[in-house]
Structure 1
Amino acid sequence: MEMKQPMTTASLRRVPTRYFVLLTNARVQGVDTAQILSTAGIDGARFDQRDGTFATAEVDAFVQAANHVTGREDLGFELGRLIKMNSHDLLGYGLLSCHTAHQLMCMASRHYHLMTEAFTLNYQRRPGAPGEATYTPTIAMPDVTLRFYLEAVAIAHHNQLRLMLGPDAPAYDVYLSMPEPSHVLRYQALAPTRFHFSESALPGVRVVMGADLLDQPLPFGDAQVVQQIDERCSLLGSRPLTGHFGWGEYVEMVLRAAEGEQVTLDDLARRLNVSARTIDRHLRAENLAFRELSEKVRFQRACEMLREPGATIKHVALKLGFSDTANFSRAFRRVVGVTPTAYVNDAARPFPPLTQPDSSLTSS
């Protein structure tokens, strides 16, 4: 299904400040919010605004400042641990009133943009079968921000289900597209929920839940409240278009995050719930093409790997999926302009920018 919302700019994507306030109110060890905001150049008075929001650039600044000030790598985990249903304002009360976790996931997926416009939630399930919830970034973001979000989203999902279903909730699986963190023991302590980490997956969080969990009755079910809040949330605006700004930058982020996987245009389209033609059209508007971006991302990674201590051309070729070094060398020279050996010997040689216009795609 192709989304019809108009394209906007990245600066218009908003995240409610009420989520970041949770880190302040909880007095998390080592988190000096005033210093973080000062370092990030954000006015602390904005935390006092009931409907305050951060732009995506401000979220990036906040996360980078928080990591610098605290020296901690688990602040996304901490934030997710603090998020409850009532953290979501009006929508949260609707979610609390759902009869089952399945109904809750359906409602959350319809209105997830009211929680954050930086990610989208897609939930799919056949009757009586397991369900799958996929949280996908909607914009390009720095690696540190992406990992912060991934942890916050994954742990918030776990925490809210646990609070609704109780400590005896059935086990299920959560997949995060990031390396195993140094604080992995914190995840293991959340058993029976099983957390899996992979650097080669498309960026996002994927949650697979069985029918035993999804069909379990929730304690505060109220169909009338759900209907009323669902209608009110629908009046608050529609979900923004995914990948709305800088499609080349966005696709580049996705391809880089899926290290080791040959992501196709169809793979990306299915994940974003848009058509492959939609993505292709937006890329062409920027004088780009998916195939060229994919190749350049792949060989940028090759350049990085070739300059690692002890790296060999054969090892890099195999790591990137080539059957032999000859094929790799020919493809490398076609994309980068020199052979792998020449590239290694010329330490000052830069890699071509990923989003440079392809002259063959330039409009006449």
Structure 2
Amino acid sequence: MAITRSEKERQMLGLFLVPGVYMRVMAETVRQLGHNDRLLYEGLNFGPEDLKANDSRVFVTDAMIMAERALALAGKDGLSFMLARELRVTIHGTLGFAALTSPTFAGSLDSVRRYLQLRAPFLSMSQSETDDHVLVKLRTEIDAPGLYLFLAETVSATLILLTEQLLDRSDAEKRGFGLADGKLPGVTVRLGGPEPAYYRQFADQLPVRFEYDQPDELLMLPKALLDVRMRLADAEASQMARDECEFELQKALKEQGDLAMAVRNMLRMMPGPLPSLEAMAERFCVSSRTLKRRLAEKETSYREIVEAVLKDRAIQLLRYTNQSVSEIGYELGYGDLSNFSRAFRKWTGKSASEFREGGPDPAPEVGP
């Protein structure tokens, strides 16, 4: 359902809500491409009018349903690139303003990396460096393989278009990053999956080259690009916007309520292998020690929650797929089949093969 600020909102999982403006813009883009955007709302508890409020929010599960429908209707028309063009910096609220006014591109990129989950809770962004390049890697936090290329393509194109628009062009030219034939030199986007037919239609309009059939979804940026000034650089204004983003993030974290439930729900949406305690603590913007303590207060531990999620996922894969036991173990993050076999027997009292062959199900997992 679409949510506005109310007592009810405070009972919801803060980091599992998507700004309604994104869904509204997506629907408008589907309509611009000549499709019936009303089909996106069928069976959902909200409509276009509900998404007009600036503070409207949509459950991430509903957002995924809308995205799947939009992709089915307009994906072949280049919905991802069309949507990226419509997601202008002002749509992103304080996060957009923090990026817009950062003194340098490095600060802008850092703001997006830290606060992306406030706008797109289904994606996370990590950053690493080589001798000459910065690698910005995108990772989905939900198990939705049919949507992943669309999400990665849309977010990558949005980041690249905003980068090109917000860089101080004179400073960029001085540092060797003036547009050459409409392209930012040395910058590429790499995506998995085959090149879609519509890419050639948009290739000349994009400020960087997109490369497909790659092993990872990432942006490759020259290190020197990080030092380029932003067009509206204002350190004080940028810090104020970051402070607001931080307040919003901490508010969302507090609204998680039962942190054990929030962690479990997030893990259930993630593909395998599941993250470490340290990685999950970073996701919730707390130290690993704090996360352990808060879970202990709920009489559970991160390991117990992970094992409960893995148990449920293993049972579902054994019950509803034809994957081999070894393939299931690998998908769940077990590099050694014997380790998966021991874990499954501990969870259910049966081997994975015995469970698949029949017999009563183990008691359902009710959560920590």
Residues in 2 aligned to 1:141 and 1:258: alpha-carbon distance in whole angstroms: 6
Higher deviation after alignment, 30-39 or 289-298? 30-39
1:339-360 CA deviation, whole Å, 9 max, x = no partner? 22220111x7446545533xxx
**What is the CA distance between 1:281 and its match in structure 2?**
2.8
Aligned to 2:26: 23
1:155-174 matched pairs, under 5 angstroms? 155-164=157-166, 166=179, 167-172=182-187
CA 328–171 in structure 1, closer or farther in 2 if over 3 Å, else same: same
Aligned to 2:172: none
Q: Does the aligned pair in 1 maintain the 2:68–2:147 contact within 8 Å? A: no
Confirm or deny that 1:254 pairs with 2:256: no
Aligned to 1:3: none
1:331 to 343, 347, 356: 343
Q: Does the aligned pair in 2 maintain the 1:318–1:324 contact within 8 Å? A: yes
SS in 2 for 1:209: strand
Residues in 2 aligned to 1:118 and 1:193: alpha-carbon distance in whole angstroms: 24
Confirm or deny that 1:238 pairs with 2:250: no
SS in 2 for 1:288: coil
Aligned to 1:33: 37
TM-score normalised according to structure 1 size: 0.66
1:274 to 286, 292, 310: 286
CA 352–162 in structure 1, closer or farther in 2 if over 3 Å, else same: farther
Residues in 2 aligned to 1:168 and 1:81: alpha-carbon distance in whole angstroms: 16
Q: Does the aligned pair in 2 maintain the 1:36–1:69 contact within 8 Å? A: yes
Q: Does the aligned pair in 1 maintain the 2:18–2:121 contact within 8 Å? A: yes
Letter in 1 for 2:346: R
2:305 to 293, 314, 339: 293
Q: Does the aligned pair in 2 maintain the 1:64–1:145 contact within 8 Å? A: no
Letter in 2 for 1:356: G
SS in 2 for 1:238: helix
Aligned to 2:176: none
Q: Does the aligned pair in 1 maintain the 2:134–2:221 contact within 8 Å? A: yes
1:15-35 CA deviation, whole Å, 9 max, x = no partner? 443333323444342543344
How many residues of Structure 1 are paired with residues of Structure 2 in the alignment? Answer: 329
Q: Does the aligned pair in 2 maintain the 1:305–1:316 contact within 8 Å? A: yes
Letter in 2 for 1:334: K
Q: Does the aligned pair in 2 maintain the 1:36–1:62 contact within 8 Å? A: no
CA 76–351 in structure 1, closer or farther in 2 if over 3 Å, else same: farther
Residues in 2 aligned to 1:297 and 1:336: alpha-carbon distance in whole angstroms: 13
Residues in 1 aligned to 2:311 and 2:85: alpha-carbon distance in whole angstroms: 38
Gaps of at least 5 residues in structure 1 are 1-7, 358-364
Q: Does the aligned pair in 2 maintain the 1:19–1:79 contact within 8 Å? A: no
1:213 to 225, 246, 252: 225
CA 300–109 in structure 1, closer or farther in 2 if over 3 Å, else same: closer
1:137-156 matched pairs, under 5 angstroms? 143=144, 147=148, 152-156=154-158
Q: Does the aligned pair in 2 maintain the 1:265–1:290 contact within 8 Å? A: yes
Gaps of at least 5 residues in structure 2 are 1-9, 168-178
Task: Name the structure with the higher helix share.
Answer: 2
TM-score normalised according to structure 2 size: 0.66
CA 211–306 in structure 1, closer or farther in 2 if over 3 Å, else same: same
**What is the CA distance between 1:78 and its match in structure 2?**
4.9
**What is the CA distance between 1:335 and its match in structure 2?**
1.1
Identity %: 19
Q: Does the aligned pair in 2 maintain the 1:175–1:206 contact within 8 Å? A: yes
1:1-364 matched pairs, under 5 angstroms? 9-10=11-12, 15-26=18-29, 27-29=31-33, 31-37=35-41, 39-49=43-53, 51-54=54-57, 56-57=58-59, 59-65=60-66, 67-68=68-69, 71-72=72-73, 74=75, 78-89=82-93, 92=96, 95-108=99-112, 116=119, 118=121, 131=134, 143=144, 147=148, 152-164=154-166, 166=179, 167-172=182-187, 180=192, 192-194=209-211, 207=219, 209-218=221-230, 220-223=231-234, 226-228=235-237, 230-231=239-240, 234=243, 238-241=247-250, 244-245=256-257, 246-251=259-264, 253-254=266-267, 257-259=270-272, 261=273, 263-307=275-319, 311-317=323-329, 320-321=333-334, 323=336, 325=338, 328-346=340-358, 349-350=360-361, 353-357=364-368
SS in 2 for 1:168: coil
Q: Does the aligned pair in 1 maintain the 2:99–2:111 contact within 8 Å? A: yes
1:132-159 CA deviation, whole Å, 9 max, x = no partner? 657788xx87748984765543332233
Q: CA RMSD in A?
A: 4.5
**What is the CA distance between 1:80 and its match in structure 2?**
3.4
**What is the CA distance between 1:238 and its match in structure 2?**
0.7
**What is the CA distance between 1:185 and its match in structure 2?**
5.8
Letter in 2 for 1:41: N
Residues in 1 aligned to 2:337 and 2:126: alpha-carbon distance in whole angstroms: 41
Q: Does the aligned pair in 1 maintain the 2:135–2:220 contact within 8 Å? A: yes
Q: Does the aligned pair in 1 maintain the 2:188–2:219 contact within 8 Å? A: yes
Q: Does the aligned pair in 2 maintain the 1:247–1:283 contact within 8 Å? A: yes
